[in-house]
Amino acid sequence: MRTKYRQIIALVLAALFPALLLAAEPEAKTARQVVEVFQGHLLEAMKSGKRIGYAGRYEKLFNPVAQSHDLEKIARIIVGREWEKLTKDQQHTFVDVLIRLSVSSYAHNFRDYNGESFVFESLEETGKGGVVVRSLFKIPNDKDVKFDYMLKQNGDTWRIINIIANGVSDLALRRTEYTSVLQREGFDALIKRLNEKIDNHSKM
Amino acid sequence: MHRTYKKNFTDGRLLLAIALAGLVFLGECAAENVKNQPIARSKADPYERVNRKIFQFNDTVDEYLAEPIANAYKAITPQFVRTGIFNFYNNLETANTIVNAFLQGKPRQGLDNTGRLLVNSTLGLAGFVDVAKYLNLEHNDEDFDQTLALWGLPSGPYLVLPFLGPTTVRGIPGILFDTAANPTSYVGIPVQLLYLLNARANAQGALQFIDEAALDRYLFTRESFLQWRQNLASDGQFASLDYFEEFAEADTANAAGFPGSVETFNTASNAFTGATAAFDKTALHFRTVLAKLSGSQKQ
């Protein structure tokens, strides 16, 4: 009798095991989910923004930004051909500064909450294997702001590579500015100036 | 990263943030020393060297003249008064929006804006209160530059005009037409000055944003302006997908120019370059005089 129970338990476990494994490994998010999860974190940080201050918002947003944005790809696109001219250390430094700058900009600028919300509008596939998730940032008593998120797949996961707010592309702006500083003043000057921006965000 | 920041939403919306970069009065802040720096070439901005100098001149005028006056104005007028004045001028500009909506073959939008003008001019107390937005009659941004874009005219090179700020060659006939089609142009200089002053005062927060976000304010302003205009001209259809195609090739940095035949406009712009060279000397003189004045005040 006992052996029979053992066999049943073993069979049940064997049947459940793959399911348990699958459950342990979360399903890869869709592009829309990646954007919406990130927007949710941003709104959460805004809601507790006044209470937790800049440092709290920075901490709250670091992982959500790092996990939803493909900052290495963003870094490559921003510096373009210059990327190959950088040493491995310089590339790591640049990506690291870019993450910290992105998080600090969010923490600095999205500091409190006045009833704002994000609303999904549509999703478009692009010819180059990417998607654009279109959404609206709703602000009470003000005009909606269009936020278009461009995403590319990195392995199994979708990652944000650009955000276009009312038609103005963050990536295009950065590319123009950063490559100009790189060409005019060099890599160290660019990193120094980006670090200064991060410092200023924490102080203002 | 979101460039449209929370602070700007509350201060006065993204469009104002970009418009202030130059469309409104003297939209740039303190000068950045770019003298003797090699300039990375941009197809959209073949006259960058001259444009930067005019940008610096505008900065100087803004720093010593427009900003102090705007700050004083802001100190004595509450926000609701400034909003009311903004609404009043915005309502008058609707006349131009209507004309351009029809010229662009958008009769529905033209009629909506006509309704908007009528409602705000009457129920909205001559335009001081934006009643129409509660009736879902949204304000549209239409101007003659967008009309010319829709008619197929390329934008041509980017230009920075003294006092007026960023535009493109196509934007110049745009400015002339829009000025002629705006009732504000016919009501006397004091009214126009109040318009400029109010616009500058409302732009303060967004100007500060540019200061905080930009590594190079000239480039930041130029790129924001060109993208913003392109987005308006295409009614928002350009942005996302085209950028995606552009960025798909990660190693083609700086390859993008903006639509428009540079060659077509070279002749006109060369004349412009000559004129601005003379202007630059005036700007230098102006700065020197102001520096002396501020020095003597400190003593």
Q: What is the chain B residue with the closest CA to A69? A: B1
Which of A77, A109, A148 has the CB atom closest to B6's CB atom?
A109
Cβ-based contacts of A77 with chain B (< 8 Å):
247, 250, 253
Here the CATH number for the domain that contains residue A199 is 3.10.450.710
Shortest distance between the Cα of B138 and any Cα of chain A, in A, equals 9
Residue B118 or A21, more confident:
B118
Neighbouring CB atoms inside 10 A of B196's CB total 17
- Angle between helices B107-122 and B79-103 in degrees, nearest 10: 150
Classify burial at A196, counting beta carbons within 10 Å of its beta carbon; exposed 0-12, middle 13-18, buried 19 or more.
exposed
The HSE-up count of residue A59 (CA atoms within 13 Å, CB side) is 7
In a domain, A127, yes or no: yes
Shortest distance between the Cα of A10 and any Cα of chain B, in A, equals 51
Q: What is the chain B residue with the closest CA to A153? A: B248
Q: Can you read off the two tokens belonging to residue A82?
A: 């210059």
CB contact under 8 A, B236 and A167: yes
CB contact under 8 A, B1 and A179: no
Q: What is the chain A residue with the closest CA to B2? A: A163
Residue B72 has pLDDT above 60, yes or no: yes
Residue B40 has pLDDT above 80, yes or no: no
Residue B134 has pLDDT above 50, yes or no: yes
Average pLDDT, integer, range B151-156: 90
Residue B257 has pLDDT above 70, yes or no: no
Q: Is any Cβ of chain A less than 8 angstroms from the Cβ of B232?
A: yes
In a domain, A77, yes or no: yes
Shortest distance between the Cα of B21 and any Cα of chain A, in A, equals 13
Q: List the beta bridge partners of residue A148.
A: A134, A164
In a domain, A4, yes or no: no
Mutate to test the interface with B, among A177, A196, A203 (most CBs of B within 10 A): A177
Q: How many domains does chain A have?
A: 1
pLDDT of residue A27: 60
**Between residues 72 and 101 of chain A, which touch chain B (CB distance below 8 Å)?**
73, 76-84, 101
Cβ-based contacts of A150 with chain B (< 8 Å):
240, 243-244, 247
In a domain, A8, yes or no: no
DSSP B13-51: -HHHHHHTTTTSTT---S----TT------TT-TTHHHH
DSSP A107-126: HHH----SS-EEEEEEEEE-
CB contact under 8 A, A168 and B14: yes
Cβ-based contacts of B212 with chain A (< 8 Å):
108, 197, 200-201, 204
% of residues, chain B, pLDDT over 70: 65
pLDDT of residue A32: 94
B197: confidence class by pLDDT, cuts 50, 70, 90: confident
Q: b/e per residue, B213-230, with b = 16+ CB within 10 A?
A: bbbbbbbbbbbbbbbbbb
d(CA B203, CA B225): 15
d(CA B288, CA A203): 34
In a domain, A18, yes or no: no
Is the Cβ–Cβ distance between A167 and B227 less than 8 Å?
yes
B63: confidence class by pLDDT, cuts 50, 70, 90: confident
Q: Is any Cβ of chain B less than 8 angstroms from the Cβ of A163?
A: yes
B12: confidence class by pLDDT, cuts 50, 70, 90: very low
Cβ-based contacts of B253 with chain A (< 8 Å):
77-82, 175, 179
Is the Cβ–Cβ distance between B244 and A132 less than 8 Å?
yes
Q: List the beta bridge partners of residue A122.
A: A134
Shortest distance between the Cα of B57 and any Cα of chain A, in A, equals 21
Q: Which pLDDT tens digit goes with each residue over A38-69?
A: 999 999 999 999 999 999 999 999 999 999 99
Residue B276 has pLDDT above 50, yes or no: no
Shortest distance between the Cα of B141 and any Cα of chain A, in A, equals 13
Which of A79, A111, A168 has the CB atom closest to B228's CB atom?
A168
CA dihedral A104, A106, A107, A112 (to 10 degrees): 160
pLDDT under 50: residue ranges of chain A: 1, 18-25
B168: confidence class by pLDDT, cuts 50, 70, 90: very high
Which of B223, B240, B253 has the CB atom closest to A150's CB atom?
B240
What number is the ipTM of this complex? 0.75
Amino acid at A45: A
Q: b/e per residue, A136-166, with b = 16+ CB within 10 A?
A: ebebeeebebbbbbbbbeeeeebbbbbbbbb
Is the Cβ–Cβ distance between A113 and A126 less than 8 Å?
no
Which domain, by its residues, includes A143? 31-203
In a domain, A17, yes or no: no
Shortest distance between the Cα of A25 and any Cα of chain B, in A, equals 29
How far is CA B224 from its chain centroid?
10
Q: Poorest-confidence range of A31-45, A164-178, B199-213, B241-255?
A: B241-255
d(CA A30, CA A46): 24
CB contact under 8 A, A169 and B227: yes
**Between residues 113 and 152 of chain A, which touch chain B (CB distance below 8 Å)?**
114, 116, 124, 126-128, 130, 132, 134, 137, 139, 142-143, 145-148, 150
Average confidence score pLDDT of chain B: 70
pLDDT of residue B164: 86
CB contact under 8 A, A132 and B13: no
B280: confidence class by pLDDT, cuts 50, 70, 90: very low
pLDDT of residue B1: 43
pLDDT of residue B202: 78
Q: What is the chain B residue with the closest CA to A72? A: B250
In a domain, A177, yes or no: yes
pLDDT of residue B237: 67
Residues 6+ apart with CB under 8 A from B172: B159
Q: Poorest-confidence range of A57-71, B163-177, B183-197?
A: B183-197
B245: confidence class by pLDDT, cuts 50, 70, 90: low
In a domain, A55, yes or no: yes
Average pLDDT, integer, range B6-28: 36
d(CA B299, CA A120): 60
d(CA B174, CA B151): 13
pTM comes to 0.71
Amino acid at A36: E
CB contact under 8 A, B215 and A175: no
